[in-house]
Structure 1
Amino acid sequence: MITRFRRLPLRSRLALLTAAAVAVAVALAAGACWLVTKQQLSHQRDTTLTSQRVDDRSVQGLVQTCGTNPSGLPPAPGSYTIQVVTAGGLVCTTPGKAAIRVTEDDLAVATGRVDDVVLHDSRATDGQEMRVATYRSERLPNTAVSIAQPVSEIDKPLNALALVLVITAGVGVLGAATAGLWIARAALRPVDRLTGAVEHIARTEDLAVRIPVEGDDEIARLSSSFNSMTAALASSRDRQQQLIADAGHELRTPLTSLRTNIDLLVRSEETGRAIPPEDRKELLASVRAQMAELAALIGDLQELSRPDGPGASGPLQVVALHEAVERAVGRARLRAAGAGLSIDAEIDKWYVRAEPAALERAVVNLLDNAVKFSPPGGVIEVRLVKGELTVRDHGPGIPADELPHVFDRFWRSPTARSLPGSGLGLSIVAQTVQQAGGEVAVHAAEGGGAVACVRLPGAATEPPALT
């Protein structure tokens, strides 16, 4: 049954649940109403029976004419039955009424063992269930008077009330089921739109679909979240397609040059015409450089292909940023020495949560950029103070209109396209810093050159709880 219920559409389940809830509520209310009414009618009947009294002369007349000439006695009013019981066992019933079975309670009242009015149920000779009130006659000794009324006198209105309640409950349940189905359809209309949008996206992969957001309830929040999700997916797909297109464009140049050089070497071997040693040496050096450029480009692409978000590049660890900067500065000094550059470093202790290898590579990329754009004999200034890392060069700087693009993938300034590089270095820096919860910016420096600033949350002492 439960499995079959779960297979029903959601709106049908809501309608059934609504109808079931209303049915339970109506049944409880109807049952309580019926029980209260029965209790009140029974109490009223018992009060009436116990308060009734028969004139002693009528009782005496009934006893005197019992079984002889009852025609002269008036019948009991309405549905009431009056019966006299004596201690000697004489039972007299009003004319036209069926005799009521005498119980021990009736005899106890007649003999004087019980002084109070006794209420009890009994049965008449015609089979009717009777409610009987028996009291002791004040003037006639050893005599009790029973006043009885058929139980059916209150059963009939109770049965009629039960029928009315059942009909009312049935109408209420049907109305509730109808209203529940209508409400479910109205409430689930936004869900239907959302379902249609999801099915459309699954069928067509069209991430431009948006669902109208109405109000601020849970359905509106769900629609808004869905719109945000599709927008993020569309943006991610666009970035992926742009990355593939840019990677293909960047790979084409070194591959073309590499193929040309290799073709020259192969043609020399096939034709037997030797290439001069100096030219051959230059060709091999060019091939080696182009292969190194391809390897670096592929490594950068692998770095950028990792998803964004904290911990996406690997588990975050407590990293001594000052140690990573010192290692990066040591590597950069080797390259700077060949270009006649010097590096002035001032590094304070700072601990952050990041992926160690990615963080060190980001710092190396910043220093490589500074070395690349610094003039011969220049000084590169590296500072790590209170969690802020700055790398400044004294090169030509970056024009103001180019600053918004420095972190774009494969973007290179027109003045720097003759220099080696793929345009991915600063993109990797930005991604790594963002994954560590920090900020990075590049701006022009006073007196010329450019300054790269990296701010990472952390502490000057290693936090014990994070080690």
Structure 2
Amino acid sequence: MIRGFQGLPLRSRLALLTATAVAVAVAAVAVTCWLLARAQLHQELDTSLRNTSAPMSTAVAAARACGSPGGEDTTQGPSFAFVQIVDANGGRCVALGSEPVRVKAEDIQVARGVIRGSLHSSTTDAGAEVRVHTERMPVPGVGEVAVTVARPLQEINAALGRLALLLTALAGVGAVGAGAAGLWVARTGLKPVDRLTDAVEHVARTEDLTVRIPVEGGDEIARLSRSFNQMTAALASSRDRQAQLIADAGHELRTPLTSLRTNIELLARSEQTGRALPPDDRAALLASVKAQMTELAALIGDLQELSRSDSATPGPVQVVALHDIARTALERARLRGPELRITAELRPWYVRAEPTHLERALVNVLDNAVKFSPPGGTVEVSLDRGVLTVRDHGPGVPPEELPYVFERFWRSPSARALPGSGLGLSIVARTVQQAGGRVELRPAEGGGTVAVISLPGAPTPPPPSVVADERVDQA
């Protein structure tokens, strides 16, 4: 049954649950009303019996008829109640016009004087239900006798029956109305979900990420619609960036590949025709081929590095000494610019980052400084309280180009003739952001450029126990 219910559409389940809940509530209210009405009617009847006494003439006549052998009660009792006299042995004398009521133990106890009065239910000899009130009354010439006054429950039972039928009908109408209202509410309330479903199916069918769902209000459905719009916008942006990356990579690869192909064709033609190239030209072609291959290898390496930075599973984050990584990067920079004067002032600073990626980022920053520094120039490097500053004395970056320096494949027009892929600073920005820091480039006073990398950390390494706990959490 549960599986069948779960197999129903959502709006059908909501309508069924609403109808069931309302039907149960209406049924509970109807039963409560019926029980309260029954209790109230019985209470009013009991009160009426307590306040109703048999006429003295009726009681006297019935008592004398009981006390005289062969006596006969000829006094008419009240029309709305049954009156009879009960003796101590359980005998009874019924008033004229009354129906005999079965004597209970409570009536005998009243007749014997054990209790003063009794209020209980009984039946007539014909089987009709009655409510009985028995009490002792003084009768002149006879003494105290137990007089029973009984009223039939037929009217109350009939009223309760009619009330039960009415409440049952109302409960049925309420359940049907609740089902219809629940279906209407489900259809109305699920319209935003239907729109969202249509949009998702449209995106899955057409891969159109420009679809947006109108957001109304601030409820859960509005939050879901807003989240869907943000998701599609993020996916569209990611797809556009991916397409742009592929286009830019293809454009960057085309130039060295074309040059490499031309040089190789010249060498191959020389071999095929048997016309040897002059030694100087052959050496220049081989040097150009080697340079183009180096450029291609660097570009592919940068693309791989940038792809790893964009992946959802980066390398393990460790507590590393930023000053040591900067010192290693400086050694590599000195090898690439032996004619430059590189000064460094590095103070201890420990950060949480992926060591290989962080070293690659620092190498890229220093490579830029070496590449744009004039021959015999100076590159100044300092690390103080987590702020790494690299200053060169090159031509600098124009202010209008600063917003684009961290974009992929962007290269300044003045630097297009220099080697490079245009991905170095993009890798730097991504690596620094993943480590929780920030990076910026700004013009330096007196000419040149200043690269500033800020990383959160501490001047002393954390205790070994903290590092061990972090490694356990990462595992």
Same fold (TM over 0.5): yes
Structure 1 residue 28 displacement after superposition:
2.2
Query: Identity across aligned pairs (percent)?
Result: 61
- Pick which of 218-227 and 368-377 moved more: 218-227
Taking the aligned partners of 2:264 and 2:420, their CA distance within structure 1 comes to 22
Structure 1 residue 69 displacement after superposition:
8.1
SS at match of 1:137: strand
Count of residues in Structure 1 that have an aligned counterpart in Structure 2: 462
Taking the aligned partners of 2:370 and 2:178, their CA distance within structure 1 comes to 78
- Pick which of 342-351 and 35-44 moved more: 35-44
Structure 1 residues 201-260: Cα deviation after superposition (integer angstroms, max 9, x where no partner): 111111111111222222222222111111111110000000000101111111112222
Structure 1 residue 368 displacement after superposition:
0.3
Taking the aligned partners of 1:326 and 1:2, their CA distance within structure 2 comes to 68
Taking the aligned partners of 1:70 and 1:31, their CA distance within structure 2 comes to 48
Counterpart amino acid of residue 372 in structure 1: K
Q: TM-score, normalised by structure 2?
A: 0.92
Match of 1:442 in 2: 441
Match of 1:104 in 2: 105
Structure 1 residues 257-277: Cα deviation after superposition (integer angstroms, max 9, x where no partner): 222222233333333333344
Taking the aligned partners of 2:275 and 2:181, their CA distance within structure 1 comes to 94
Match of 1:132 in 2: 132
Taking the aligned partners of 1:197 and 1:283, their CA distance within structure 2 comes to 57
Structure 1 residue 358 displacement after superposition:
0.6
Structure 1 residue 370 displacement after superposition:
0.5
Structure 1 residue 435 displacement after superposition:
1.2
Counterpart amino acid of residue 202 in structure 2: H
Structure 1 residue 68 displacement after superposition:
6.5
Matched, 1:150 2:167: no
Residue correspondence of structure 1 range 297-336 to structure 2 within 5 A: 297-306=299-308, 308=310, 312-336=313-337
Counterpart amino acid of residue 423 in structure 2: L
Residue correspondence of structure 1 range 278-289 to structure 2 within 5 A: 278-289=280-291
Evaluate the alpha carbon distance shift between residue 9 and residue 463 of structure 1 in structure 2; reply closer, same or farther with a 3 A threshold: same
Residue correspondence of structure 1 range 378-393 to structure 2 within 5 A: 378-393=377-392
Q: TM-score, normalised by structure 1?
A: 0.93
Match of 2:119 in 1: 119
SS at match of 2:328: helix
Structure 1 residue 142 displacement after superposition:
6.5
Residue correspondence of structure 1 range 1-20 to structure 2 within 5 A: 1-20=1-20
Match of 1:458 in 2: 457
Structure 1 residue 288 displacement after superposition:
2.4
Match of 1:185 in 2: 187
Contact 1:85 1:144 in 2 (8 A): yes
SS at match of 1:398: coil
- Aligned-pair Cα RMSD in Å: 2.1
Taking the aligned partners of 1:245 and 1:63, their CA distance within structure 2 comes to 120
Taking the aligned partners of 1:218 and 1:74, their CA distance within structure 2 comes to 77
Structure 1 residues 7-41: Cα deviation after superposition (integer angstroms, max 9, x where no partner): 22222222222222222222222222222222222
Contact 1:56 1:137 in 2 (8 A): no
Match of 1:43 in 2: 43
Taking the aligned partners of 2:189 and 2:346, their CA distance within structure 1 comes to 61
Taking the aligned partners of 1:173 and 1:95, their CA distance within structure 2 comes to 52
Contact 2:443 2:449 in 1 (8 A): yes
> Which segments of 5 or more consecutive residues in structure 2 lack a partner in the other structure?
469-475
SS at match of 1:186: helix
Taking the aligned partners of 2:308 and 2:39, their CA distance within structure 1 comes to 77
Match of 1:221 in 2: 223
Contact 1:306 1:313 in 2 (8 A): yes
Match of 1:373 in 2: 372
Taking the aligned partners of 1:306 and 1:8, their CA distance within structure 2 comes to 46
Structure 1 residue 333 displacement after superposition:
0.9
Match of 1:25 in 2: 25
Counterpart amino acid of residue 207 in structure 1: L
Match of 1:81 in 2: 82
Structure 1 residues 52-101: Cα deviation after superposition (integer angstroms, max 9, x where no partner): 222343222124446968684214322x2111112355422233443222
Structure 1 residue 424 displacement after superposition:
0.6
Counterpart amino acid of residue 95 in structure 2: T
SS at match of 2:315: coil
Structure 1 residue 319 displacement after superposition:
1.9
Taking the aligned partners of 2:32 and 2:386, their CA distance within structure 1 comes to 73
Taking the aligned partners of 2:185 and 2:90, their CA distance within structure 1 comes to 71
Counterpart amino acid of residue 182 in structure 1: W
Counterpart amino acid of residue 28 in structure 1: A
